[in-house]
Amino acid sequence: MKGNIKLIGIGDEGRASLLPLYETFIKQSDVLVGGERQLKFFSDYSGEKVVIKGGLKNLVDMLQSEEREVVVLASGDPLFYGIGGYLSKKVDVSIYPYLSSVQLAFSRMGEKWQNAKLLSVHGRDMLGLAQKIDGEDLVAILTDEKNSPSEIAKYLLSFNMTEYEIFIGEHLGGEEERCRTLTLEEVTDTEFASLNIVILKRMKKGPSWSFGIHDEEFIQRKPEKGLITKKEIRTLSLGALGLKKDSIVWDIGTCTGSVAIEAARIAKDGKVFAIEKNEGDYQNCLENMKKFRTDFTVIHDKAPNGLETFDNPDAVFIGGTAGGMKNILKQCCERLNEGGQIVLNAVTIENLGEAVSTFKENGYSVDITLAQVSRSKPILNLTRFDALNPIYIISARREEGEK
């Protein structure tokens, strides 16, 4: 790196947002880099102007070979969902931030924001947004033209998150600034400027669920209720999976979606993929996702078909295979990320034996827990116990050094 690069944050109001020192940096530079909108603020600039296009790699290549004094313009705080984090890892750059859109939005609301949840759907899919938002008091969301305030409102309403009101700040700091606080219903039919930020504020309590959701709360197949991983087995199995906040999880044979739903509520910043062969159970899973405010990928197919579309997992739960166990386990063993865990529930000794032998063939060590659970049940003015089916909980991990 031979030149001197400065990365300067700029507001929607253009030059008026710059400190005099920043103006001096720009005036003394030889090259000014930025988006077309930002460069238009500097019509009198005497040096060379370079528009950022074609991806940041092209920009890095240019900066690495540049010997002249360069100023790169970026919106707001370049280190807040901006280009600053990427550029600082690739080139020697000095960063001079402006106020972020989030700071401006909360200042317009008059709300403290040190505990706010900060999210972005700018250039990203909204998949998984529900569990990230649910239960938070304040949530700031960076948007784009596709994931607009109206689309965000429709998304939240589909999960019945009516306890939130929505603040939209448009062109914050600019001449066309406009700020509004609306209900989600009002936002769905309203158009907004492309430059905006969304703040969600929880106005009342919504439904909440702790770890280990009661079986009865899940929508299940009728008249054959009971095709669900029971709460006690579910909590033991999820504990064995060792999920983290950003885990990528597979649930094979998801049925009602109980395990996938609880996994999504734990791995809020990760991804959950589920598969179910039965049409009725698949539909129940979709309904349960809405009820419990979790948003993940679930497909209607029979494993191992469809597993190739899932990201490589950190954790795999197998609640049912409907045959073809060996092929399913082989794929899971081959695709599992380093340090990951596979947990399989088996009811029969035959399935237990096949699972253990298959795991060992693939270089995995196995731990087995036999869970025998009984639940209390009233009988007249007395209490007795009803036993649930015994379940083998098989935990498998790759032996150290094996591939």
Query: Which residue type, as a one-letter code, is found at position 310?
Result: F
Domain enclosing residue 154, as ranges: 103-202
Query: Do 227 and 308 lie in a common domain?
Result: yes
Q: Which of 163-172, 228-237, 321-330 has the lowest mean pLDDT?
A: 321-330
pLDDT-derived band at 400 (thresholds 50, 70, 90) equals low
pLDDT for residue 91 is more than 70: yes
Given this model, what pLDDT does residue 323 score?
73
- Tell me, what's the pLDDT at 403? 52
**Assigned domain for 208 exists:** no
- Distance between CA atoms of residues 344 and 213, nearest Å: 20
The pLDDT value recorded for residue 399 is 66
**Residue 2 in this model has a pLDDT that exceeds 50:** no
Confidence of residue 402 (pLDDT cuts 50, 70, 90): low
Co-location of 286 and 333 in the same domain: yes
For 231-254, what is the mean pLDDT? 97
Residues with Cβ within 8 Å of 170's Cβ and at least 6 positions away in sequence, in order, are 176, 177, 178, 179, 192, 193, 195, 196
Q: 89 with 148, same domain?
A: no
- Tell me the whole-structure pTM to 2 decimals: 0.89
Residues 55, 131, single domain; the answer is: no
CATH of the domain at 113: 3.30.950.10
Tens digits of residue pLDDT in 120-171: 999 999 999 999 999 999 999 999 999 999 999 999 999 999 999 999 999 9
Overall average pLDDT of the 189-218 stretch = 95
Look at residue 1 in the predicted model and tell me its pLDDT.
Answer: 36
What is the arrangement of strands in the sheet containing 341-346, beginning at the earlier edge strand?
297-300, 271-276, 248-252, 315-318, 341-346, 391-398, 364-371
Under the banding of pLDDT at 50, 70 and 90, the label for residue 54 is confident
Residues 360 and 376 in one domain: yes
207 lies in a domain?
no
